[in-house]
């Protein structure tokens, strides 16, 4: 599995940037090239150190053979990064989105880019970073949602615990039949620990992404996605109690698993679309 991740990360990484006629080409080790017509370029800026921006990785690779995918920055919005390095970055704003590249000879590449675009359009603007007072930050009050779910889940688990048998079913096959058993103490551990971890991760990621995005919709969506995971933990705890006290699942197998997978797929699709639209 680890070798597959390493191999795929390498194959999808950017390998070369070059000009082909009136187009800028970003070539990957394997796969579809990113081709940007120079007449679609509106502006650019050179960033000496990308890591010094307020940046969050929203859907991409953060260092294994490069930095590529969608990243959000407070200064320049959502960027399709195709970086081999974080130093001497050129951020390019185009009609189809904003891109970031890291050519080896940045000065020579920048000179050719500027002269080529000016030759086609007459001018190319220098991008100006957004100032903090102009950014619409997400409201941290949204964190009341994961906090409330966590508290309700914890209270529910503690209230249900005394009604469980000393030896309880904790694992089930694809037909919903118990095939694993443990003491009822595991009900507390398997419920409270994941609920606590999800609440903490949700809050930390929200605060981190909040400072690195111009629009609040993305951090709000991230909180909602984690809220669904929290609700799933609550459901699993309640279902475990139900099967051990009433000998029946809340929702029959495999419909509960199918429903969970479908909802996750929809949420991931909405998240992906939100990132693409923001770019």
Encode pLDDT of 232-244 as tens digits: 999 999 999 999 9
Q: Say what the pLDDT of residue 274 is.
A: 76
Q: Say what the pLDDT of residue 278 is.
A: 58
Q: Say what the pLDDT of residue 253 is.
A: 78
Two tokens, residue 274: 């939100």
User: Would you place residue 152 in the very low, low, confident or very high pLDDT band (cuts 50, 70, 90)?
Assistant: very high
Of 252 and 226, the structure prediction assigns the larger pLDDT to 226
Q: Say what the pLDDT of residue 273 is.
A: 80
Tell me what the mean pLDDT of segment 220-228 comes to.
93
Tell me what the mean pLDDT of segment 157-173 comes to.
90
Q: Say what the pLDDT of residue 165 is.
A: 92
Residue 62 CB contacts under 8 Å (≥ 6 apart), including other chains: none
Q: Helix (H, G, I), strand (E, B), or coil: what is residue 74?
A: coil
Q: Say what the pLDDT of residue 260 is.
A: 84
In contact, 51 and 86? CB cutoff 8 Å: yes
45 has a pLDDT exceeding 70: yes
Two tokens, residue 120: 């086609």
Rounded to 10°, the helix 217-246/185-210 angle is 170
Report d(CA 6, CA 62) in Å as an integer: 13
Report d(CA 77, CA 214) in Å as an integer: 6
Of 90 and 213, the structure prediction assigns the larger pLDDT to 90
Of 174 and 164, the structure prediction assigns the larger pLDDT to 164
Tell me what the mean pLDDT of segment 41-51 comes to.
96
Q: Say what the pLDDT of residue 133 is.
A: 77
Q: Say what the pLDDT of residue 176 is.
A: 73
User: Would you place residue 277 in the very low, low, confident or very high pLDDT band (cuts 50, 70, 90)?
Assistant: low
Question: pTM for this structure?
Answer: 0.80
What value, to the nearest 5°, has the Cα angle with vertex 103 and ends 135 and 119? 80
Residue 4 C-beta-side C-alpha neighbours within 13 Å? 1
Tell me what the mean pLDDT of segment 72-88 comes to.
94
Give the DSSP letter of residue 122.
S
Q: Say what the pLDDT of residue 151 is.
A: 97
Give the DSSP letter of residue 86.
S
Of 8-12, 129-133, 274-278, which range is least confident?
Answer: 274-278
Q: Say what the pLDDT of residue 69 is.
A: 93
What value, to the nearest 5°, has the Cα angle with vertex 21 and ends 19 and 23? 55
279 has a pLDDT exceeding 60: no
196 has a pLDDT exceeding 90: yes
Percent of the chain with pLDDT over 70: 99
49 has a pLDDT exceeding 60: yes
Query: How far lies 266's CA from each of 228, 261, 262, 263, in Å?
Result: 12, 9, 6, 5
User: Would you place residue 268 in the very low, low, confident or very high pLDDT band (cuts 50, 70, 90)?
Assistant: confident
């Amino acid at each position: 599995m680890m070798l597959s991740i390493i191999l795929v990360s390498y194959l999808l990484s950017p390998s070369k940037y070059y000009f082909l006629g009136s187009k800028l080409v970003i070539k990957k080790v394997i796969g579809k090239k990113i081709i940007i017509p120079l007449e679609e370029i509106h502006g650019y800026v050179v960033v000496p150190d990308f890591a010094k921006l307020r940046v969050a990785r929203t859907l991409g690779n953060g260092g294994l053979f490069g930095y590529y995918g969608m990243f959000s920055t407070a200064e320049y919005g959502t960027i399709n990064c195709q970086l081999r390095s974080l130093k001497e970055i050129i951020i390019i704003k185009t009609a189809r989105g904003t891109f970031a590249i890291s050519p080896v000879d940045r000065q020579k590449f920048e000179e050719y880019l500027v002269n080529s675009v000016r030759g086609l359009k007459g001018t190319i603007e220098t991008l100006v970073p957004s100032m903090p007072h102009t950014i619409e930050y997400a409201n941290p009050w949204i964190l009341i949602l994961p906090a409330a779910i966590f508290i309700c889940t914890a209270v529910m688990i503690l209230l249900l615990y005394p009604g469980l048998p000393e030896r309880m079913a904790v694992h089930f096959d694809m037909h919903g039949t118990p095939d694993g058993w443990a003491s009822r103490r595991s009900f507390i551990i398997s419920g409270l620990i994941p609920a606590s971890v999800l609440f903490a991760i949700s809050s930390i990621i929200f605060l981190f992404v909040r400072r690195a995005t111009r629009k609040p919709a993305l951090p709000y969506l991230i909180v909602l996605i984690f809220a669904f995971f929290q609700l799933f933990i609550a459901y699993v705890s309640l279902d475990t109690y139900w099967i051990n006290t009433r000998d029946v699942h809340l929702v029959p197998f495999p419909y509960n698993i199918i429903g969970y997978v479908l909802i996750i797929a929809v949420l991931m699709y909405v998240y992906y679309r939100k990132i693409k639209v923001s770019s």
